Structure 1
């Protein structure tokens, strides 16, 4: 049965602390209240959210003492996520409620693995739901350090402050901040997630390590879980032309100069070779890495695309990959290199002109 907005607000209130941990992550609990700067999740203590029903009011209700604003947890989701249409607020709330079956007082760092197999698609969907929007987080700082500014279609990226990491079955579980990317099928269903574990020192941008490039100092700072084969991290809605690459940073680097071209990151050379083609696809740009694996996957994809009647064109970096081109050569040289590799019609359609 479809829940009305009043019912959604009540269900959110039953999980008030969980909602606050995710959407008001810059705050903290104090007694029966969650304190934060404001409904847009800034640092501070002027806004308080009731976590339990009391004689003074119902759980989930909040007031900002500095501005006099007040509302319920649907308002929190709307403002913290920057949503405009109420339909999007409802969809976000329903997604949250469908993926959270935890007691509202459970500590946030336990959410991602509770009651689900740690490698399953269900676990992946829960981890993504428990992560927060990327804007203003350490994950955004990490990408900015690699020369990447988040544009449209980046809703597939989120941030988790304390994401589980276990070096091996014999080691104790650790927690690290992580950029969490949703892996989806052609219909948009989340089938897995990819985690990029980050160095906490990135909270101070002056500590950005040009060698480590912001990743956590652990053996495997990139990990994936769930059902990945054929699926991808998707930026934009697939149409007749898309670009596909291995890494998230590679694809996002290309998006800096082709902001309106739908793209996907398959997360590895093997998975890139196995991506499923959208029915509408007519031209595929293969954003290859400059290594033997990149050459091999390009040949494989060209063969598969030809068999499906799809025009496949390889985009090659000047250096090792497109993020290196962006960071080291600069955006103008990067743009010039890509321009000569595009179909002329796509230059006018997709290439962002130089300033």
Structure 2
């Protein structure tokens, strides 16, 4: 090579060929939608490691079992060179066939591809929002006596105990599932921003097993369509009965991860305003109005290092926003749904 490409430039070039790279580094994995899924950096089958294959996030990866992640060059280092980035850089240059290329030509390609990827990602993001809203609007609003109702009953959640079923939940009798390339019944949840606009949709595919409704027997029975950072699933307005933007300073806002966990708490405390964050990472990033001063985090009993760090980060984020933060732990089991029995 004439000159030397920066590590970030090499990483960007790897990202432009991410699917081929993922197949080589993680041979036991498989493509699931726009991601390559594997068990870990060892490359065995599984779903704990996810690699984005396309768009502006191409090459971004996360191994949730070990709480590690990074860019494509980091992935090479973890998979092949015992985390030696210098060795990973040399391997990547060889894999990319850079020895006969000029740095200037490749840098121009990197810039052009990055601009194209950014524009495409922005356009794709808009399309995902539109698609999520269409899916939501076309679903059945009344979930009583539907597979959604029966699924929640099997999880110990009795919708008749509420004054009304959560308006955020809907039922889709035939909702397309990419994993099996066929439609399945599904519980859909609207994910909304602070202004109440639907920005994404949470999908839980359902199936009957032994005469009882449960999550469909899929490798990944739950997925989100769209970007949900800062947004949430509004499950209960609580005693106030007002919109999220109308929260009063003395009101407590309870925030949990999953729909089932949050509804389990709602059965015991229907007076609470309850939001589902969808993920641990989003517990602290949910956008709340300035009037929100009190937060109750409904924590899962997860002793992993990643979970502890994630919870601590969520607490610190809310504290830094000037809110008081309390944490509620399930007295038994992993989460509050375990408490009410399944």
- TM-score range for the pair, normalised by the shorter chain length: 0.5 to 0.7
- What is the 5 A alignment of 1:36-75? none
The aligned residue for residue 280 of structure 2 is 269
Kept in 1: contact 2:200–2:224 (CA 8 A): yes
CA drift of 1:154 comes to: 0.4
Report deviation, 1:273: 3.1
1:181 to 183, 189, 202: 189
Aligned length: 201
Shift of 1:326: 1.1
RMSD: 2.0
Given that residues 252 and 295 in structure 2 are in contact (C-alpha distance below 8 angstroms), is that contact kept between their aligned partners in structure 1?
yes
Structure 1 partner of 2:240: none
Contact 1:298 1:314 in 2 (8 A): no
Q: 2:217 aligned with 1:207, yes or no?
A: no
Q: Following the alignment from structure 1 to structure 2, what is the Cα–Cα distance between the partners of residues 124 and 137?
A: 21
Measured in 1, the distance between the counterparts of 2:219 and 2:127 equals 19
Distance 1:189 1:146, change over 3 A: same
The equivalent of 2:326 in structure 1 is 313
Q: Equivalents in 2 of 1:232, 1:249: separation in Å?
A: 14
What TM-score does the superposition give when structure 1 sets the normalisation length?
A: 0.54
Does 1:158 find its partner at 2:170? yes
1:1-355 to structure 2, matched below 5 A, reads: 120-133=128-141, 134-150=143-159, 151=162, 152=164, 154-167=166-179, 173-199=181-207, 201=208, 207-208=211-212, 214-235=214-235, 236=237, 237-238=243-244, 239=247, 240-291=251-302, 292=304, 293-318=306-331, 319-327=333-341
Q: What is the rounded CA distance, in whole Å, between the counterparts of 2:316 and 2:125 in structure 1?
A: 37
Q: CA deviation at 1:179?
A: 0.2
CA contact (8 A) 2:318 2:324 kept: yes
SS in 2 for 1:198: strand
Change (3 A) 1:304 1:153: farther
Q: By how many angstroms is 1:250 displaced?
A: 0.6
> CA distance change for structure 1 residues 119 and 153 in 2, over 3 Å: closer, same or farther?
farther
Please state how far the C-alpha of 1:298 moved relative to its aligned partner: 2.3
1:145 Cα shift? 0.8
Instruction: Give the gaps of 5 or more residues in structure 2.
Output: 1-123, 238-242
Greater mean alpha carbon deviation, residues 158-167 or residues 290-299: 290-299
Query: Which runs of 4 or more aligned residues in structure 1 lie more than 4 Å from their structure 2 counterparts after TM superposition?
Result: 116-119
Q: Given that residues 284 and 315 in structure 2 are in contact (C-alpha distance below 8 angstroms), is that contact kept between their aligned partners in structure 1?
A: no
Shift of 1:118: 10
How far residue 119 of structure 1 moved from its aligned partner, in angstroms, is 6.4
TM-score relative to the length of structure 2: 0.55
Cα contact 2:125–2:226 (8 A) shared by 1: no
In the TM superposition, residue 309 of structure 1 has moved relative to its aligned partner by: 1.2
Per-residue displacement from partner, 1:76-114 (whole Å, max 9, x unpaired)?
Answer: xxxxxxxxxxxxxxxxxxxxxxxxxxxxxxxxxxxxxxx
Question: Does the aligned pair in 1 maintain the 2:280–2:311 contact within 8 Å?
Answer: no
The runs of 5 or more residues in structure 1 that have no matched partner are 1-115, 329-355
Report if the CA contact (8 A) 2:155-2:337 is conserved: yes
- Shift in Å at residue 226 of structure 1? 1.3
Alpha-carbon deviation of 1:270?
A: 1.5
